[in-house]
Amino acid sequence: MEQKTYIQQINDLLMQYGPKVLVAVLILLIGLWLIQRITRTMNAMLVRRNIDESLRPFFTSLVDVALKVALLLVVAGQVGIETTSFIAVFSAMAFAVGLALQGSLGNFASGVLILLFRPYRVGDLLAAADHFGEVAEIQIFNTVLITDHAKRIVIPNSKVTEGAIVNIAKGSEVLVEATVLLESATSLAAVREAAEEAAARCEWVLPNRPVDVAVTGINRDDMKVDIGWWTMGEHYVATQDFIHEALRDAFEKRQIKLAKERRREGM
């Protein structure tokens, strides 16, 4: 008699939950197939739009996980499992993780924006967060610069994006400038001649660009002069180092003197 009761209970359970389980399994299989198609389609779309390779796996995995979580909740609801408690637990966990990783998430979000909008690229010269150097790596959390003294500087991406970014891109024309403070009686013609001679000695100067000489301030004792010539972005540092030495030699040759009382503000 008890055996019949157990068999009857099993039959009742199968009749009650069997169809639900079958439908849930069917939903799970179809859902997994659809999720696979969606992630493949999304990855192909990101490739067509030239999204950075380091971002594509993140976006596709994010969509994949989100869709699978939603699918599991649907399957659980189909079987008859209460999903409200699961949603509450997931929300609490997400909130706790968000608070714990607030700084890292800010760096991560900034890294995503940098990789999406490309304000600078690997190989560019970058001035950001009070640092200057060549961009060696753009990571999801940090940007790595290499200075001309071979120092490696790791800057959190949030620090880069929260301030001004000065980018000297490879392949772009850029003006290299030096500011000098000269005696007010100095001949501007002699200054221009010295600047042109110094520029002619520089192998990285663009020949199709004239040398810039501009007086930006003057008083009774001295005058402030900006001197610059054009080069390519990849030669900016070398040209900047060269311009001071070349101007010094050209000034000495023509007996052009810096303003004595403010000599430190010159070259």
* Tens-place pLDDT, residues 12-67: 555 556 677 788 888 888 988 999 999 889 888 888 877 766 667 767 877 888 88
pLDDT, one tens digit per residue, over 206-225 is 988 999 999 998 888 889 99
Question: Are 234 and 176 contacting, i.e. CB atoms less than 8 angstroms apart?
Answer: no
Question: Are 162 and 106 contacting, i.e. CB atoms less than 8 angstroms apart?
Answer: no
Give the DSSP letter of residue 162. Answer: T
- 196 pLDDT band, cuts 50/70/90, is very high
Question: Are 91 and 99 contacting, i.e. CB atoms less than 8 angstroms apart?
Answer: no
Q: Compute the chain's Rg from CA coordinates.
A: 33
Question: Are 112 and 140 contacting, i.e. CB atoms less than 8 angstroms apart?
Answer: yes
Q: Is the pLDDT of residue 5 over 60?
A: yes
Give the DSSP letter of residue 73. Answer: H
Question: Are 240 and 176 contacting, i.e. CB atoms less than 8 angstroms apart?
Answer: yes
Give the DSSP letter of residue 210. Answer: P
Domains and CATH numbers, the chain: 2-100 (1.10.287.1260), 119-168 (2.30.30.60), 173-265 (3.30.70.100)
Share of the chain above pLDDT 70, in %: 79
67 by DSSP, 3-state: which? helix
Single pTM value for the model:
0.62
Joined tokens for residue 42: 């999304």
